[in-house]
Amino acid sequence: MSQARNPYEIHDYPSRRPTGVGPWTLAFALFGGTIAWTVHLIAGYSVANYMCGDAVAVWILHGLTVVALTVVALAFLTALRVVRHATRLPKGERTPEEDRDQFLASGGLLLAGLGFMAITFGEVAVVVAGCTP
Amino acid sequence: MTASTHGQPVSERLSSLWERPRVIDHIFATVDHKRLGVRYMVTAFVFFLVGGTLAGMMRTQLAVPENQFLGPESYNRIFTMHGTTMIFYFATPMLTGIATYILPLMLGTRDLAFPRLNAFAYWVFLFSGLFIYTSFLVDEVPDGGWFAYVPLTGPNYSQGLGMDFWTLAILFLGISTTAAAINFVVTILRMRAPGMAVQRMPLFLWGVLDMAFTILIALPSLTLATLLLALDRTFGTHFYDPAGGGNPLLWQHLFWIWGHPEVYILLLPSLGIISTVVTAHARREVVMYPLVAVASVAIGILAFGLWVHHMFSTGLDLLPISFFSAASFTIAIPSGISIFAWVTTIYGGRVRFSPAFMFALGFIVTFVIGGVSGVMVAMVPFDWQVHDSYFVVAHFHYVLVGGVVFPVFAGLYHWFPKITGRMTVPTLGHGAFWLIFLGFNITFFPQHILGLLGMPRRVYTYAEGLGWDTYNAISTAGYVVLGLGIIVMVFDFLWSMQRGEEAGDDPWEADSLEWATPSPPEPYNFAHLPIVHSRTPMWLDRTPERGGQLDRIEDPMDDGREVVTTSVLDAAPDAVLRVPEPSYVPLFAALALTVAVVAMLVEVYPVSVAGIVGLGALLAVWLWRSPAPAPERVNQIRDRVHLPDVRIAGPHSLGRWGMIFFIVTEAVLFGSLISSYFLVRGSADEWPLGGIAEPELILPAILTALIVLSSASMFWAQRQVEGSADRNPPLGMLRLALVVSLALGIAFLSLQAYEFHRSEFGPSTNAYGSLFFMITGTHAAHMGVGVLLIGWTLLRTWFVSHEPGQRSDVPNVALYWHFVGVVWLVILSVVYLGVRGL
Ligand code: HEM
Ligand SMILES: [Cu+2]
C-alpha cells in the first residue's frame, strides 16, 4: 500500500504568510451593512407603528437613520480596506487566504451598498409621509 | 487508482461497503443520497402532474362564462389543493431532491452529512403528501386557500376535517423540510472537497446553502402559525379569535414571515441551477462570480424584509409599510446583478443550445417580466388596485413557473445524463421547451389584462359581457399547449432512460466535480476523493503537471464508510469520519410519526401518544450507536492520511454542527412565539385579560434556580468528557453529573406541572391563557425532551464504550440543555416579570 501524501502538502492551506486580517474584521466587513439595515428596519417599523403621534417619534426615526448609515459607511470602508490589502500583490502571487478575504470583502461591499439603499428608501418615506398619527 | 487494499480491488471493496446486495434493503433501508434524490424528484414530479391536473380543471371551468363544470365549493377545494400541492409538495421537494442528488457529487464527497436523516425526511415528505391527499377519499378536502387566512379557516367558519388535514399535513411536512435544510447546511459547510474554499464554491452550492438557511429561519413561523391554528380548531384556544382577546392579524404576520421568503427559498436554488447550466452550456465561468454568489446571500436576507407587503390592503399605516416597500425595491438589485451576469456570460460564451440551456433562457426572459410586474405590485397604491385580482395570479405564476419550474426543468435536462447514464433526445427536448414556454405565456399573459379589467381571483365563474370571455378562453387554450409540452417532456425522459445514447462521464464537458464520476455514479461516488485547486476544477485543475487528472487523496479510505470533513471557510481537511450504514429505522420512525398524525386528525389521542412514544424509542435506537471508528482506527487514519487532528467529538463532529443549526431554528420558533405574545398583548386593553391575576413569582423563582443549577451540572458533565482527551474516562464523575442534572430537570417538570394544575385559568379561558400555556408548555415539552436525552446519555455510559475524546453525545445534549435554560430566562422575564411592569 502506498504511503499517502500529506494533504497539507498537496493542499493549498494554510499558506506561506498570514493575511493580517482578523476574523472579526472580516465578519464586520461582510455583514456590518446588513446588520445595520436589519436593526433599522425592525426598530423603524416598531417606532412608526407604535409611537407616531409622539412628537419625538420622527426624531427617533431620523436618529436611527443616522446611526444605521454610519455603521453602513464603516462596514463599507472596512470592506474596502480589506479588498485593498488582499489585492496589493499581482494576481499570481496572492495566497488562497487573500483570495478568500477579497471574495468575502467584495461581498461586504455589495451588502453594504444594498443596506445603504434600503435605509435611504426608508428615510425618504419618513420625510415624505411624516410620522403623525 | 486500481491499487488494492484488504486484498480486493478498491472499487469492489468500496461497493461492498456502500451498497447492500438485497433489493428489499435498497427499497426500504437505503440511505444513499442518489437513490433518495431520485425518489424525491420522481415523487415531487408526480405531485406536479396532480397539481397541474387540478389547474386544468380550474381552467376548464373558467374557459367560458357561467360554466357549470365545477361548483363554488369544488372550486375552492381545487385551488387550495392546487396551490398547496405546487408549493409544498412539488416545488420545495423537487429542489430538495435535485440538491440531495447533486450536492455530495458536486462537493466531491460520498454522501450527505446525515444520511439516515435524509431517508427520514424523504419518508415523512411522502407520507405527508399521501396524508393530505386522502382528504379526497373521505371527501373532507381543505378549502381555505393555500394561505389559509383566519378567521375563514378558524373553528367558527370552517367546519369539517378539511382544514385539519391541511394544518396537520403542513406541520408534518415541516419536519421533513427542516431536516433536509439542516442536512444541507452541515454538508455544505463541513464536507466540501479539500481546497473548495468559499471563494471556489460552485454557485449552485451557494444557492442551496442560502435556501437552507432561509428555511431554518423562516419555517418556524409557519410551523407556529399552523400549530396555533390547529389548537384553535381542536382545543378551543383563542390565539386568532378576537372574541377571546386573540388577534386574527397574527396569522397573517406569522404566515407571511414565512410566505414571502418561501418564494425566495424556491428561487435561490433555482438561480443556482441557472448558473450551473449557463456555465456548462455557454462553456464559460459566470462573470462577476463574487457578486453573483453574494447576490444570492443578499436575496435570502432581504426576503425577510418583505413580509408585510402582502398585507397592504389590511389597513396598516402607510409609514410602517414603507419600510418594507424599501426592501422590495432593494431586492431588485441583486436579482438584476445575477441577470446581468448571466446575459454577459452567454454573450461572450460558446453557447450550446441544448434543451437545458433553452429552459435557462426561458427562465431569464420570464423572470424579467415577473420582476417588472413584481415591482408594480410592490408599489403601494398600485397594489390597492390589483390586490386580489388576476393581475396577482399572473404575477405569481410568472415568478413561480418562470422562476422555479423552468430552472427545475433546465436542471433535469442538464443532469439527466449523469443520473441515468443516457442522453435525452434533442428534438423532443426542444419541442417540449417551445410548447411549454409558449403555452405558459399564452396561459398567463392574458391574466395580467384580466386583472386590469377587474376580474377578481378565486371566483369559480363570471358573468358574460364583462370583456373577460376572450382572455379566459385564450388562457385555457394556453393550458392545453403547456400540457402537451409536459407530455412530450415526460415521454422524452421515459424513452431516453432506456434507449437514449450512452452519455459517458462528462457529456457536456462541464466544470464541476459531479462530472468526474461515471454516469450513473458508483454507490460511493468517488473511489479517491478529489482535491480542488480552482473554482472550475474540471476545466482548470486537470493540468499537464497533474497528468491531466484531478488531484485526489490517494488513500481510498475504505475501512468503513469514510469521508473527509473540512473547515468552514478554507475547506482545509480536519477529520475523517464515518457516515452511517443503511437502516430501517428512518422508515419506521416516519411511520410512527404518521400514526401519530392520523390519530390526531381523528382525535384518538392515546394512539397519537403511542405514535410519539414509538418515534422517541426509535430515535433512541437510531442514535444509540454512533458510527465512530474504534480508537486504533483513529490512530491508523491519522498516520495514513496525515490529517493534523482526527477527533470525533467536540467541534469537529458533524453531530455538533447539526445540533447548532437545530438550535438556531428552535430559537426562531421561540422568538416567533414571544413576538406573538407581544402582538396579542399590544392589541388588548388589559393584560392579563379578563381579570386573571398576575402570575406569582415564588414558584418561577424556584424553577429558575433549578434550571440554572441543572445547566451548571450539565456543564460539569461536559467537562468530564471534553477535558480528558488523554486520561481514562472518569465515568463515575460523568454519571454523577448526569444524575444530578436529570434529577433537577425532573424536579423542574414536576413543579411546573403543579403550577399548571393549580392555575385558576386554562388555555381556553382567553387569549392570555392560551399564550401563557402555549409558551410555558412548549418550553416544558422541550425540557421533557431534554430530560429524556440526559437519561439516554446516562444509559449509554454503561452500554456504549468510547474513548473519552469521542463521546459526542454529552456535549450535544448539554448544548441543547443550555439552550432550553436560556429560553426559560427569556420566558421568565416576558411572561412572569414582564406582566408586572404594566
Ligand atoms: C401548470 C400550469 C398552471 C396553471 C394552468 C395554473 C393555474 C392556476 C389557477 C387557475 C389558479 C386559481 C386562480 C384563482 O382562481 O384565484 C391558480 C392558483 C395558484 N397557483 Fe397555479 N397554475 C399552474 C402552475 C402553478 C405552479 C407551478 C405553481 C407553484 C409552484 C402554482 C401555484 C399556485 C398558487 C400558490 C395558487 C394560489 C392558490 C390559492 O389561491 O390559494 N401554480 N393556478
Ligand atoms: Cu410578495
- Would you say residue A18 lies in a domain? no
In one letter, which amino acid is B821? Answer: G
Interface touch B333/A117, C-beta < 8 Å: yes
Let me know if residue B601 belongs to a domain: no
A47 located within any domain? yes
Domain assignment present for residue A68? The answer is: yes
Distances (CA, A) of B660 to B183, B574, B663, B819: 12, 19, 5, 10
Mean pLDDT computed over A38-55? 84
Chunk chain B into consecutive blocks of 10 residues (it has 838) and report each block's average pLDDT, rounded to whole numbers: 64 88 88 96 98 97 93 93 96 98 97 95 97 94 84 80 93 96 97 93 97 96 95 93 90 88 92 97 94 93 78 63 78 90 94 96 88 69 70 89 95 98 97 98 94 90 91 97 98 96 95 96 93 92 90 82 88 82 94 96 94 93 69 62 56 83 96 93 86 88 96 91 61 91 97 93 93 96 96 87 66 94 95 76
From B513, B539, B557, the end of a domain falls on: B513
Q: Domain total for chain B? A: 2
Atom 41 in ligand 1: residue holding the nearest Cα: B145
> Contact, B310 vs B395, CB < 8 A?
no
The reply to whether residue A44 touches residue B682, judged by beta carbons under 8 angstroms, is no
Q: What is the pLDDT of residues A84-94, one digit of tens each?
A: 999 998 888 88
Residue B760 lies inside a defined structural domain of this protein: yes
Residue B682 at interface with chain A, using a CB cutoff of 8 Å: yes
Note whether residue A10 is domain-resident: no
Q: What is the mean pLDDT of residues A39-61?
A: 84
Q: How far is the CA of B79 from the centre of ligand 1 (A)?
A: 7
Q: B286 lies in which domain range?
A: 31-513
Q: Residue A97: inside a domain, yes or no?
A: yes
Mutation to probe ligand 1, out of B50, B69, B74, B79 (largest number of atoms < 8 A from CB): B79
CB contact under 8 A, B551 and A97: no
Q: CA–CA separation, B561 vs B25, rounded Å?
A: 17
Rounded to the nearest 5 degrees, what angle is found at the Cα of B656, between the Cα atoms of B655 and B662? Answer: 85
pLDDT at B55: 97
| B320 → closest Cβ in A5, A12, A49 | A49
Kindly indicate the confidence band of residue A10, based on its pLDDT and cuts at 50, 70 and 90: very low
- The C-alpha R_g of chain A, in whole angstroms, comes to 21
Which residues of B, range 261-300, sit inside 8 Å of A by Cβ? Answer: 290-291, 293-295, 297-298
H/E stretch holding B127 reads helix B115-137
CA distances from B145 to B142, B153, B222, B443 (A): 8, 9, 15, 21
Mutate to test the pocket of ligand 1, among B59, B86, B455 (most ligand atoms within 8 A of CB): B86
Q: In the A/B pair of chains, how many CB contacts fall below 8 A?
A: 134
Per-residue DSSP letter, B9: E
Last residue of a domain, one of B496, B513, B530: B513
Q: Is residue B682 part of a domain?
A: yes
Residue nearest to atom 8 of ligand 1 (CA): B55
A14 and B572 in contact by Cβ < 8 A?
yes
Last residue of a domain, one of B483, B513, B543: B513
Say yes or no: CB of residue B458 within 6 Å of ligand 1.
yes
- What is the chain A residue with the closest CA to B546? A10
pLDDT in the model for residue A11: 52
CATH number of the domain encompassing residue B407: 1.20.210.10
User: How many C-beta neighbours within 10 Å does residue B785 have?
Assistant: 15
B162 min Cα distance to partner chain A (Å): 36
According to the model, what pLDDT value does residue B536 have? 95
Residue reference for cell 457529487: B105
Predicted local confidence at residue B645, as pLDDT:
53
B58 lines ligand 1 (CB under 6 A): yes
pTM of the model: 0.94
Q: How many residues does chain B have?
A: 838
Residues of A in contact with B291 (CB under 8 A): 106-107, 110
Using CA atoms, how far residue B256 sits from A87, B220, B249, B371, B552, in Å, is 42, 12, 11, 19, 46
Domain count of chain A? 1
pLDDT of residue B733: 87
CA–CA gap between residue B199 and residue B372 (Å, rounded) = 32
Which residue in the set B295, B553, B644 is minimally distant from A110, CB to CB?
B295
* pLDDT given for residue A8 in this prediction: 43
CATH of the domain at B820: 1.20.120.80
For residue A49, what are the domain limits?
28-129
**Cα(A80) to centroid of ligand 2, in Å?**
33
